[in-house]
A and B are shown apart, each in its own frame.
Chain A
Amino acid sequence: MSDNRITRVFAELNARGEKALIPFVTAGYPDLETTAELVLGMARAGADVIELGVPFSDPLADGPTIQRASQAALSGGINLRQIVALVARLREQTAVPLVLMSYFNPILSYGLEAFVSEASRAGVDGLIVPDLPVEEADPLLELGDARGLALIPLVAPTSTPERITRIAAKARGFVYCVSLTGVTGRHGGFSKKLAEVIGNVRAQTGLPLAIGFGIAEPGQVRELAPYADALIVGSAIVNRISAAGENGAVKAVQNLVTELKQALVKK
């Protein structure tokens, strides 16, 4: 998978001594056209990798912000096929690595083989499935490996060293370290175990390490940056989209991405 866009971007950043900013938007929120503009806008503003959330009716790892965005997108009739098609269109305009974050059932319903083959052909680089632990991941992992689609695993503050060893052995692209015990967008401080968990992951893999969940502000970016190769920001971006309304969303999100990226670059 050396030709995967994710791997290349992390190698380039590493050579420059920089860290990656990975913003997340819910695909189809408020509509697919805006999602396309948001992706291109965020890439211009300095996003290194972009996560596209696939809306699901029952997003049990997500807090209220992404729940609401997912519900709104589903009410607009969004589905996984349209999101794969959106990636294919975006690929004509940007080389930024694109990662889909989807619960397992929409992928299962699509058909694992059909999904992996069509997503990778469209230009999807990675896949994060929050309800697919390493024990259940093999079928999707093997299909992804055959097509160069990285199955990016999550590690939590509650993951034991034994679990981390197992997860790291099957990690592709990067490892997503969850910063807290809780759902996305939660406030209330990062886990005290975070540094220890990250140490355990580092000991098991040379892959880049991204921290996500509950990161909303430049101050938090500066706090966590020393521990990670990348930081993921989701709910805070979706909140900007909601607050900005119809026309201002792209500008508002670009501003936030610029701000966060600056916090990440500044020593």
Chain B
Amino acid sequence: MLPDERGYFGAFGGRYVPETLMSALDELGEAYLHARKDRGFQEEVEYYLQHYVGRPSPLYFAANLTRHAGGAKIYLKREDLNHSGAHKINNTVGQALLARRMGKRRIIAETGAGQHGVATATAAALFGFSCAVYMGAEDIRRQAPNVSRMHLLGAEVIAVEAGSRTLKDAMNEAIRDWVTNVENTYYLIGSVAGPHPYPMLVRDFQAVIGREARRQILEINGNLPDYVVACVGGGSNAMGIFSGFLADREVRMVGVEAGGHGLETGKHAATLSRGRPGVLHGSLSYLLQDEHGQIAPVHSISAGLDYPGVGPELSYLRDSGRVVFTTAKDNEALDAFQLLCRTEGIIPALESAHAVAEAVRLAGTLPSTATVVVNLSGRGDKDLETVIQEVGQ
């Protein structure tokens, strides 16, 4: 079972952080390994996932979308129906319970689209932590409803004006806060990125998606899917669903990165498609960077995918060939967003719309006997303003 003791997934992962944080990472790693073995902790997590988050989330056969695509049957894993609107809550509930077990009082987080920020603020309210969320000023502008939600939930939202003023810069600032307040603060990372043990523990808390989806598709269909499709920013929803099928060699997996304006324009966030290995935010992984190792500016219409890095396990799965990565452009995601609204009456997050775009394309190339499972990682209420601006009414 990966990662190894040093936090490596093959050549990727590790701990590339200031010395000030190393003891805290050791402490977190130990606390997590103990918690993982503790039946009481597991039951507590399960309790909140069931009664608070609303799990299991349905696996829904999208009959109309399937008809539209004209090929394989498309199933949607409805993480959009979770409390607080996305898969992010699976991880924040788990980590907040871990933080409580570790005796921490304050939680900090970074957020891009605001979904992880909302999910963190939600768990902080539930378990009585003080909470500060770092968010790029540009993202605060384009994800205003989530900022209001975080305020209502009692979190402080700190605008980050540095750099590109998006997720990457929010994460820099959250790490600086953690370096400064490491002795009383728990850093609740929202993706399968960051230094070991975060890629492992975030994956483990999200793995409930894949476990459920595998059981559900077997119940509904009697056999495993041909494809599992998920969007990839940092990669937490993708690792969550992929992890349930990694051992099933016959199941093919597709990660969909943000193609932005198109790979040829340079305005995209397709880290695994166009990046090369490097170190950012504590781990060695694929990275969009210039020839001198400076992190490249990235673009996506969806704030949650607008990130130049990716989780180390996904880099490993890319190089091993177990997962294939492709891209959906801004306009393709917008088309899929509207398509899902009109065919199924489901408003997806723009992030998830990237996965829907690829699933529809892929299903059209497959026979009607084939099945494609898509992780519908979040709902799109937060994106209404962006979409209305882009496509009119």
Contact = CB atoms under 8 A, between A and B. Distances in A.
Bound pair: A and B?
Answer: yes
B15 interface: yes
B188 interface: no
* Majority-rule SS of B interface residues: mixed
A157 B172 contact: no
B148 interface: no
Interface string B252-293: 000000000000000000000000011111100001010111
Interface in B167-185: 168-169, 172, 175-176, 179-183
Given A67-B162, A135-B6, 7 more contacts: A56-B293, A57-B163, A60-B18, A60-B176, A79-B292, A158-B20, A181-B180
B60 interface: no
A63 B136 CA distance: 17
Contacts of B219: none
B6 A105 contact: no
Interface string A63-89: 100010001001000011100000000
Contacts of A156: 18-20, 22
A103 B175 CA distance: 15
Interface in A140-180: 153-160, 163, 167, 178
Given A130-B18, A135-B6, A57 B182 contact: no
Given A58-B295, A60-B176, A133 B163 contact: no
B159 interface: no
A41 interface: no
B19 A56 contact: no
A159 B15 contact: no
Given A105-B280, A181-B182, A136 B15 contact: yes
Contacts of B16: 104, 131-133, 136
Interface residues of A, number: 42
A140 to B, nearest CB: 12
Contact of B176 (A160, A178, A183): A183
Contacts of B42: none
- What DSSP secondary structure best describes chain A's contact surface? loop
B35 interface: no
Contacts, number: 118
Contacts of A58: 163, 168-169, 172, 280-281, 295
Contacts of A80: 292-293
A185 B169 CA distance: 19
Nearest to A56: B294
Contacts of A110: 292-293
A218 interface: no
Contacts of B380: none
A109 interface: yes
B163 to A, nearest CB: 7
Contact of B289 (A105, A133, A182): A105
Interface string B134-177: 00000000000000000000000000001100001100100110
Interface string A182-203: 1100100000000000000000
B384 to A, nearest CB: 31
Contact of A105 (B15, B17, B20, B279): B279
Contacts of B20: 156-158, 178, 181-182
Contact of A181 (B172, B183, B295): B183
A60 B281 contact: yes
Interface of B: 6, 14-24, 162-163, 168-169, 172, 175-176, 179-183, 277-282, 287, 289, 291-295
A167 B19 CA distance: 10
Given A109-B278, A183-B180, A186-B180, A158 B15 contact: no
A159 B289 contact: no
Contacts of A56: 293-294
A107 interface: yes
A130 B176 CA distance: 13
B27 to A, nearest CB: 10
A63 B18 CA distance: 13
Contacts of B181: 181
B197 to A, nearest CB: 13
Given A60-B175, A158-B183, A81 B22 contact: no
A133 B292 CA distance: 22
A60 B194 CA distance: 12
Contact of B23 (A71, A131, A163, A182): A163
A61 interface: yes
A178 B182 CA distance: 14
Given A60-B281, A105-B280, A159 B182 contact: no
Contacts of B281: 58, 60
Contact of B279 (A63, A104, A178, A181): A104
A108 interface: yes
Given A109-B293, A131-B16, A136-B14, A163 B179 contact: no
Contacts of A103: 279
B5 to A, nearest CB: 10
A61 B293 contact: no
A185 B16 CA distance: 21
Contacts of A57: 163, 294-295
22 contacts: A58-B163, A58-B172, A60-B18, A60-B179, A79-B292, A81-B292, A103-B279, A109-B278, A109-B292, A131-B17, A131-B18, A131-B279, A132-B16, A136-B14, A156-B19, A158-B19, A158-B21, A158-B183, A163-B23, A178-B20, A181-B182, A183-B176
B23 A160 contact: yes
B175 A109 contact: no
Contacts of B172: 58-60
Given A105-B289, A154-B19, A182 B24 contact: no
